[in-house]
Structure 1
Amino acid sequence: MNNKGFNWFFPIMIIALLLFFVTTSLGDSGAKSIDEDSFFKEMQAGKIQKVLIDKQKQNAEVYLTQNAKTETVKTQDKSPALFPSLGMTPKADFTLKYGDLQLFLAKFETLKAENPAIKTTKDYAEGESPLMSILIQALIWIAILGLFYFILFRKMGSGGGPGGQIFSIGKSKAKLFDEKERIQTTFKDVAGLEGAKEEVQEVVDFLKNSEKYTKLGGKIPKGVLLVGPPGTGKTLLAKAVAGEAKVPFFSLSGSDFVEMFVGVGASRVRDLFAQAKAKSPAIIFIDEIDAIGRARGKNNFSGGNDERENTLNQLLTEMDGFGTDTNVIVMAATNRADILDKALMRAGRFDRSIYVDLPELHERRQIFDVHLNKIKLDGTVDREFLAKQTPGFSGADIANVCNEAALIAARNNHESVTKQDFLDAVDRIIGGLEKKNKAIKPSEKRRVAYHEAGHATISWLVEHASPLLKVTIVPRGRSLGAAWYLPEERQLTTTEQMLDEMCATLGGRAAEQVIFNNISTGALSDLESVTKRAQAMVTIYGLSPNIGNISYYDSSGQSEYSFGKPYSEETAKKIDIEIKGIIENQYDRAIQILTDNKDKLDALASKLLEKEVIFREDLEEIFGKRAWDPELTEKPVTNTIPDKEVIGEQPSEDVKDNEIQAPESSTQI
């Protein structure tokens, strides 16, 4: 079933080479024969360096001088050996078959006596066993070929060493977890995600008790797709499935199929499913499947064969092709489900799509319980309070908060982690590292204070703005000041709510205009956030009466690769005018509110300059309680990241803003 039998190619090749070299060794040395007359003629000419006499074989080996070798090498008809000096003495240049040894020696000595210039020496070869010589040469070649076998077959075949994976490049890179290597993660280790756990629990139950479903005619689902924002626990949920199912679990990433060689991706898909079928029932988990599952035929300007499409085609065939009927479940995770191919998402392949959303208030409480069990806590830490202070945080963010709080406590030499350490950790993650030593001119600090006070004032005086949590003029990260809010939880947003939030966002620049009669560049993130909100109102949500109930939002992602706009140039001008009108109206409104409450704005800015950090209680002393605002503790907390206004930032892709929720989560009822 595994198609991985013993490879006989290398052993056969080794035996063939061994026989070849041994046969060569058994033959002669390849030296040219020479007769006695020629020998003595060359000896008299001074070309013979040494003669080695072998009494047993009745022949002699003749060795030329270096000068003679240079002259006669072109006349040699022997072929050079592959390794002429490996494990053997230097080869003779000629072989001499003498007749009577006594006569040969007498003539040799007479010639030397007549001509003292002759330097030729004679010697006698020791008796050497031919079998021993053959054995030594055979052992040498066996060692050499064994080394070649190890390098080519073992090392490169297993993917190690330079140039590895030559013989296994088409094999799957999936890591197998089975009875030998169990995953200890279970559903008890996954806090929150009740709905997602219920969905995947049924898959696990089917693998364990398939007869319960098959007797009623049910079929095992082919695929389960986990979709959700980053850090919400998709991979952790897959690990829990592997720990609960007690079946072979193959885990890999979508990028593991990608290779520079043509056909490798499809080959790895085939090998992966072949291994899974051999161990059926089994689960295959592909993390970040969008690496290979992107919709086909999009943005392919090369005109050639797309290797990623070939990989996707093979995956589609393996999941639900002709004659595929095995108990192999494919689980996949992605946070970009909108770009996946429709053929991949259809029923019969990924039968279930489970949305893993950001945790609710009670789910954040459970996640804190999991992570705080490993931390030495102070008695003042209230887990319910921490859950309320972290709206919009994912499970990974909460784990980061707990770790950051422990680091801050250790840095401050605390015996345990206190409540203030957690608050500092939240501020550190949202706003960046606090920079108290950053040099700021008094005039700039005053402008920052009024900017932040303008946000706080308008958010307190308009009905639908988010409740204020904290305002600071202490520099953090790339910002000179920031304001944090706790938006109320709502599934739908009305036009009035969006306009009030835009007005509060523009309060910083409006305060600069009212107090200093000029504006600065510190409202970058404010303008970015307001512009995105206004664009969404006009082009996505259809909240502009002049444009009408029209939405140019494309949830299928088809317009991502189009060069044109879905509206005419005349409509584009109307959209631009409408967006500008909405923003300017809210800016004028903010200026009017701050002008009417200039004394309270001055008092709030003065307190902010004095304390540098103010809270909700400080605003209540100046403005009193909000008439339409119930107690903050009675309000549910939203699932969006706390709104943070930033002043003094330079343009950057990672500027945080108050961007409205995606249309998928805020418009569906």
Structure 2
Amino acid sequence: MEKKPHKIDKSSSSEKKTSDQPPGGFGISWLYVIITAILLSVFIFNNPTSNLKEISWKEFNNSILSQHEVDKIVIVNKEVAEIYIKPDRLKDPKYEQLKRNKFTINTGPHYKIQIGSVESFESKLEEAQQEVIPEERITLLFSTRNSFINVFSWLIPILLLFFFWLVIIRGIYSGKGTNPLFNFGKATIRVSEKGQKSHINFNDIAGLKEAKVEVMEVVDFLKNPEKYTKLGAKIPKGVMLIGPPGTGKTLMAKALAGEAGVPFFSMSGSEFVEMFVGVGASRVRDLFKRAKEKAPSIIFIDEIDAVGRSRGKVNAFQANDERESTLNQLLTELDGFGPNTGVIVLAATNRPDILDRALLRPGRFDRHIYLELPNKQERIEIFGVHIRGLKLAKKVNIEELATLSPGFSGADIANICNEAALIAARKKKKAIEQEDFIEARERVVGGLERKSKIISPKEKEIVAYHEAGHAVASWYLKNVDALVKVSIIPRGKSLGSAWYLPEERQIVTKAQFMDQICASLGGRAAEEIIFNEISSGALNDLEKVTKQAYSMVVYYGLDDEIGPLSFYDSTGQNQAILGKPYSEDMARLFDKKVKELVLNAYERTKNLLRTHKTELEALAKLLLLKETIEKEELETILGTRHVELLIENP
């Protein structure tokens, strides 16, 4: 009963102290600054020598010295001559401005002259007084003074040191922990407290059904732990979200923060490591300490690969690697001798192959949740989420948009929806139409159209036949994706483009690989057939073809002579090895087989285009005329594409 009123008195006194001080934090240091400013202003503006009128030697000699009105001359610091006028001559009207006010007379100095040197000034004065009797000649007086500027030049550093010392002392004894000079070892955490409402929940995540179920189970662990512990189960310590960029890993964490109903600590992996040695480990300790104080709680570390890279021989020659010490501290906090009760760690990465194996083992990250690129049905759901706030026309077909975007992530679909809205607004439409979404897709995939790019008629003709070669080759090959549109309008870095509707495949056969290589070589083959000359326009095609051919031979084991051998390194450990995991003879055989594969595909493509040379020329001429050809016009020239009747790979 005695403690309760004691707490009330304490809080009331602290409230009184807080109310006495204004919100701006007006402290005694500001009082020092104001007093100093007042003293400086009084010294500057009340200094009698600060308002002296400066005159030239000619004016002084003609108007004052020749009239015998000078009382004395004082040379100050061998730089300035101060002129004093005789008191009886100050009554003259020409000296009226020298009076301080109506009742007092200025006793001097009255004027000043900048002198080059004392010797020069003395000689001038001696020459001007040659006709004056010796008794009336003016003698020079010398004075040395410390000017305010000289004093202030050495006073400023002392004042600055005193000011910073005051700030540092106040930061040490403030007790608030807000001074960044003393908090570099603290973690810069974004905290969502219990009961805080979040704008994102699991309803905002479309697709990813299996991943969403596993993450929602984490919420159930925190809300109903007895349901699992009564059977002897242990709550998972860590959950790792793994997936390509844009698949929704961070979004899943944000939804978890909104649904969990417990304190949520979020931090990026790059925020642990900075310029100071030991800061990363200190921040890891601080993060887990604060999370344990508010247990049960969740810690989310985004892009954990920034500190979780595998510890190998690469860093063996470094005396102290800050990132490695941070990782060691993280491993200890996740599963060391210290208790970690009630804290679940959520992490996200798109590079699981480079993470340290000690970090991924059970007991630290017990669950690995893989977020894949969405399929067609999931893309329909994702489009449904991102068009909620958009004003759409009635004829927008979401299913067609999902069909036209295979391999797109959730971030790509969100970008398409936003670009479609921008395009519709640019065209001053009242609603977003289907064609705006199609144009936005092309804008995201290929880049911005550059109709203003000037190319010569000869180059335009080469581009037209190049793209027509791609179109004809892909149209008559069975295992190539369906052609949707051909264009010779420059877009991004390319001068032309052929748009396909990719089929969603999980595996690719050898015949499909060969047809894709032939379709990619169609542009180069068309240039050689029509112009009997080749150009540099096929650079991107040749790069893609070479990579595909090497993948077939070296990785997928699709060559008959080499056999079922694969030198693909899924762990990434061989990247640190200086040598290759195969002999020089095998490397020469790889090169030979890749070259044979590409040359055979090129000859096959040229034979196909020679057979359909009429269609090739008709399509190129139409491209030169219209610049863009849609699927209906392609069918008019090339005929209807029946896959079962197309050319099989020999």
TM-score by length of 1: 0.70
Q: Which structure has more RCO (C-alpha within 8 Å, separation ≥ 6)?
A: 1
1:417 is aligned, of 421, 432, 448, to 432
User: Which residue in the other structure is 1:521 paired with?
Assistant: 536
Instruction: For 1:120-519, list aligned pairs within 5 A.
Output: 149-154=169-174, 157-159=177-179, 165-179=180-194, 181-300=196-315, 302-519=317-534
User: Which residue in the other structure is 1:19 paired with?
Assistant: none
C-alpha contact 2:305 2:349 (8 A) present in aligned 1: yes
The range that moved more, 613-622 or 446-455, is: 613-622
Task: Evaluate the alpha carbon distance shift between residue 152 and residue 321 of structure 1 in structure 2; reply closer, same or farther with a 3 A threshold.
Answer: closer
Percent identity (aligned)? 58
Q: Note the C-alpha offset of 1:151.
A: 4.6
Task: Evaluate the alpha carbon distance shift between residue 357 and residue 298 of structure 1 in structure 2; reply closer, same or farther with a 3 A threshold.
Answer: farther
3-state secondary structure, aligned to 2:347: strand
Q: Note the C-alpha offset of 1:147.
A: 5.7
Paired AA for residue 633 in structure 2: D
- Quick one: distance in 2 between partners of 1:387 and 1:154? 58
Q: Note the C-alpha offset of 1:626.
A: 2.4
User: Which residue in the other structure is 2:129 paired with?
Assistant: none
Q: Note the C-alpha offset of 1:302.
A: 4.6
3-state secondary structure, aligned to 2:598: helix
C-alpha contact 1:283 1:330 (8 A) present in aligned 2: yes
Q: Note the C-alpha offset of 1:392.
A: 1.3
Task: Evaluate the alpha carbon distance shift between residue 553 and residue 144 of structure 1 in structure 2; reply closer, same or farther with a 3 A threshold.
Answer: closer
- Quick one: distance in 1 between partners of 2:270 and 2:581? 34
Paired AA for residue 419 in structure 1: Q
Paired AA for residue 460 in structure 1: W
- Quick one: distance in 1 between partners of 2:165 and 2:304? 44
Instruction: For 1:84-103, list aligned pairs within 5 A.
Output: none
Deviation digits for residues 534-553 of structure 1 (CA, Å, limit 9, x no counterpart): 01001110001122111111
The range that moved more, 335-344 or 480-489, is: 480-489
User: Which residue in the other structure is 1:531 paired with?
Assistant: 546
Deviation digits for residues 307-365 of structure 1 (CA, Å, limit 9, x no counterpart): 11111111111111124240111100000000000000111111111111111111111
Task: Evaluate the alpha carbon distance shift between residue 184 and residue 259 of structure 1 in structure 2; reply closer, same or farther with a 3 A threshold.
Answer: same
3-state secondary structure, aligned to 1:529: helix
2:621 is aligned, of 591, 600, 606, to 606
- Quick one: distance in 1 between partners of 2:218 and 2:511? 45
- Quick one: distance in 2 between partners of 1:353 and 1:145? 51
C-alpha contact 2:241 2:371 (8 A) present in aligned 1: yes
Paired AA for residue 498 in structure 1: F
Compare the two structures and name the one with the higher helix fraction: 2
- Quick one: distance in 1 between partners of 2:163 and 2:497? 73
Deviation digits for residues 218-245 of structure 1 (CA, Å, limit 9, x no counterpart): 1100111111111111000001011111
Deviation digits for residues 387-436 of structure 1 (CA, Å, limit 9, x no counterpart): 11111111111111111111111111111111111111111111111111
Instruction: For 1:572-591, list aligned pairs within 5 A.
Output: 572-591=587-606
Aligned length: 485
The range that moved more, 611-620 or 343-352, is: 611-620
1:541 to 2:556 alignment = yes
3-state secondary structure, aligned to 1:437: coil
C-alpha contact 1:156 1:166 (8 A) present in aligned 2: no
- Quick one: distance in 1 between partners of 2:623 and 2:644? 23
Task: Evaluate the alpha carbon distance shift between residue 153 and residue 396 of structure 1 in structure 2; reply closer, same or farther with a 3 A threshold.
Answer: farther
Gaps of 5+ in 1: 1-141, 160-164, 631-669
- Quick one: distance in 2 between partners of 1:144 and 1:569? 66
C-alpha contact 1:157 1:166 (8 A) present in aligned 2: no
CA RMSD after TM alignment? 2.0
Q: Note the C-alpha offset of 1:513.
A: 0.6
C-alpha contact 1:514 1:595 (8 A) present in aligned 2: yes
Paired AA for residue 618 in structure 2: A
Deviation digits for residues 170-208 of structure 1 (CA, Å, limit 9, x no counterpart): 111121111364323110011111111011011111111
Deviation digits for residues 491-519 of structure 1 (CA, Å, limit 9, x no counterpart): 11110000000000000000001111111
- Quick one: distance in 1 between partners of 2:330 and 2:175? 30
3-state secondary structure, aligned to 2:265: strand
TM-score by length of 2: 0.72
